[in-house]
Structure 1
Amino acid sequence: MSQLLNSVLMVAPILQKAFLSECMVGVTDKEKFLAYYPAQGLNLGIRVGDELRPGSINATAVKEGKRVVKKISKELYGIPYIAVGYPLVENGQVVGRLATGVTTDQEDRLHGLAQNLTDALGNIASHTESLAKDADHLAQASHTLSDAAGQLGLKIAETTQINELIRNISTRSNVLGLNAVLEAARAGAAGRGFSVVAEEIRQLSQTTATSAKGIFQLLDEMNALVGTVTGEMEKTMNHSVQQSTRIQELDAVMQELRHMAEQLKKAADITGRGE
């Protein structure tokens, strides 16, 4: 047996303990295993004397004379792991191979968590973006309603002016009707017909005055309601704008978290490939 192989066989159990994580270590010559030290969570059941399987990472490292890294899926041995085969070269010739392997359970879990986190944050970001758009639309609608309430207030003010004119006309008509009744009374029998007309005018003016008063009261109530609606619309609009701003800030945070999750996933992928 070559001196290099003997030296590696001596230090192999020490190397296993020197690694930061649990690691299996194997040493082979060009045909078979000379030593195998399983890890606590990674035992492939290899025995000293087992021959190298054609096409395996061990046989490939010996045959090609170069370092080989390969991720082995769970389906093969029931344990996912990364194996590294390093050729042992002495006097220009490959005399064997040093193999190490570590499980990727933690990396696979990390990858799964990163993928789930990425998907969850993607969904949250999508909903947040939709909420931001809805908040913008709500703010615009509130602004439109506030403008409409303001215009309605102006129209009520114009109606109030018209109603004031009607009340003035009613008052003047009542005065004229009263004067006409007095003049008809003075005229005696000749003014009886005119007296009837004057009395009707006076009653009409009183009815108009009563109606105008009712309209005034109704307009005052409407104006008060419009003022309340306008105030509430302004509050709603302000809240909508604040909500939109906060949702946009939340969306920015979600995008940043999503980017971090993607970076985490890439790191898990790189770790899983043994790069």
Structure 2
Amino acid sequence: MNQKLKVIVESIEFYQSTYPEDACILIFDTEKVVGYKRGKTVDLKITLGETVEQHRNTTSVRAMKSGRFLREERSEEAFGFPYIASSVPVYDNGVIVGVVTGVISNSRVSDMRIVANELSGSVQEMSATTEQLALASTDVSKRLVELSKYAEQMNDNIQQINSIVGAVKDIAMHSKILGLNASIEAARSGVHGRGFAVVANEIQKMAQNSTNSANSIAHQLLTITDSIEHINAYTKQIASFTEEYTASMHEMSEGYVSINQIGQKLLSLGEIEH
């Protein structure tokens, strides 16, 4: 065995101790495995003497053949758990004599990626739903404002009708006075005024009926006006609540964006530099 590589093999526990987390150390010369130190939980179950050919597709052999540092992330297919392998070629007088590889478990990073992806997906769904709710809320608010305007227009129309009713009352009052005057004149005319008295009586009845109808209409309009005012007040109140709700939805959407950014940072932290 190359002397330099031999020193490294003898120091394998030291190299293992330099890792901040559980790791196993694997050492190859140009032909076979010459050193292996399993971790507490990380174990590739490799035995000394296994050939380079047996491990031709591993990070270790690829780094040794390329002559450069290589770090790769591997799935659980080869050894039953996901891991990250970092391989450093060993040179002696400019010639590659072997490679040293440190292997750590990638389970936590893998789990973190899964959680980050799930978080990102959930946040995107919630953000989309929130935006839809905000749009719907904005639409409702606009429609409530329009409804309030219609209510005000109806109130104006009712006021105009009240003016007409007032005019009808005024006409009825003058008609009643006219009927009374006609009755007086008919009484003065005696027998000759009987026909005129009948007409005067009908005028008074018509005036009274008009007054009663006008009063009834005025009462109904007053009831409708009160109802419209209540509806208008409730509409404005709901519109105000809707605007506040929309603002809250936008704030929540901004919060989701921040959470999504955190999820993306978690994903980037899980990326392995090669």
% same residue: 24
2:23 maps to which residue? 23
Are the aligned partners of 1:185 and 1:191 in contact in 2 as well (CA < 8 Å)?
A: yes
Does the 8 A contact of 1:86 with 1:97 survive in 2? Answer: yes
2:204 is aligned to 202
Give the 5 Å matches for 1:160-239: 160-239=162-241
- Matches of 1:55 and 1:238, distance apart in 2: 67
DSSP 3-state at the match of 1:110: helix
Residues of 2 paired with 1:252 and 1:19: CA distance? 40
* Structure 1 contact 81–103 (Cα < 8 Å) conserved: yes
Q: Provide the aligned C-alpha RMSD in A.
A: 1.3
Q: Quote how far apart the aligned CAs of 1:177 are.
A: 0.7
- What does residue 57 of structure 2 align with? 55
Matched with 2:146 is 144
Aligned residues: 272
- Provide the rounded CA distance (Å) in 2 between the counterparts of 1:214 and 1:178: 24
> How big is each residue's C-alpha offset from its partner over 1:120-141, in whole Å with a ceiling of 9 and x where there is no partner?
0000110011011011101101
Gaps of 5+ in 1: none
- Can you list the C-alpha shifts for 1:176-216, whole angstroms capped at 9, x where unaligned? 11111111111111111111111011011111111111111
**Counterparts of 2:57 and 2:79, CA distance in 1:** 16
Q: Aligned AA for 2:23?
A: C
**1:186 is matched by which residue type in structure 2?**
R
The superposition leaves residues 228-275 of structure 1 with CA deviations (integer Å, 9 ceiling, x where unpaired) of: 11111111111111111111111111122212212221222x1xx344
Contact 1:33 1:49 in 2 (8 A): yes
Alignment of 1:56-135 (within 5 A): 56-135=58-137
Q: 1:232 is matched by which residue type in structure 2?
A: Y
| Higher mean C-alpha deviation, range 124-133 or range 11-20 | 11-20
Q: Please state if 1:7 is matched with 2:13.
A: no
1-side partners of 2:236 and 2:66: how far apart?
77
The alignment's TM-score, normalised by the length of structure 2, stands at 0.95
Q: Would the aligned equivalents of 1:82 and 1:274 in 2 still touch at CA under 8 Å?
A: no
Q: TM-score, normalised by structure 1?
A: 0.95
The amino acid across from 2:38 in the alignment is P
| Structure 2 SS opposite 1:74 | coil
The whole-number CA distance in structure 2 between the counterparts of 1:11 and 1:274 is: 27
Where does structure 2 lack aligned partners over 5 or more consecutive residues?
none
> What letter is aligned with 1:5?
L
The corresponding residue for 2:156 is 154
Q: What pairs with 1:264-275 in structure 2 (closer than 5 Å)?
A: 264-268=266-270, 270=271, 273-275=272-274
Distance 1:79 1:242 in 2: 51
Q: Distance in 1 between matches of 2:164 and 2:63?
A: 102
Question: What is the aligned partner in structure 2 of residue 262 from structure 1?
Answer: 264
The CA distance in 2 between the partners of 1:94 and 1:258, in whole Å, is 46
Tell me the equivalent position of 2:36: 36
